[in-house]
Amino acid sequence: MGQIAIKVTPRSAKPGIGDWREGADGREELEVRVAEAPVDGAANEAIVKLLAKALGLKRAQVAITAGETSRHKRVSVALEAREVRERLGREQRKD
């Protein structure tokens, strides 16, 4: 299993997966937007479902491992980081 960093935007009018961006700590993170509010775990559940669907994985193969109450999260997926990029069809940004 691999780990990916994500930055979440809850209550988004346009839910979906964005681009890879450099986070505040200098590491890359994937932008993820969900319509759900961050109340009672609704946004976290939406994140897991969205990533599982986009990556062609079962829901049980995706889990938030850190940052459950933060916009910046670590997610464990049943793929290596390279495979995540390939399945999402997005390459690492090189500005």
Q: With 80 as the cut, is the pLDDT of residue 95 above it? A: no
- Alpha-carbon torsion angle 92, 70, 40, 35, nearest 10: -40
- Burial classification of residue 43, based on how many CB atoms lie within 10 Å of its CB (0-12 exposed, 13-18 middle, 19 or more buried): buried
- In the chain the domains, ranked by start, together with CATH numbers, are 2-88 (3.30.1200.10)
Output the pTM of the full model. Answer: 0.88
- Which amino acid would we find at residue 40? D
pLDDT tens across 48-93, in order?
999 999 999 999 999 999 999 999 999 999 999 889 989 987 544 4
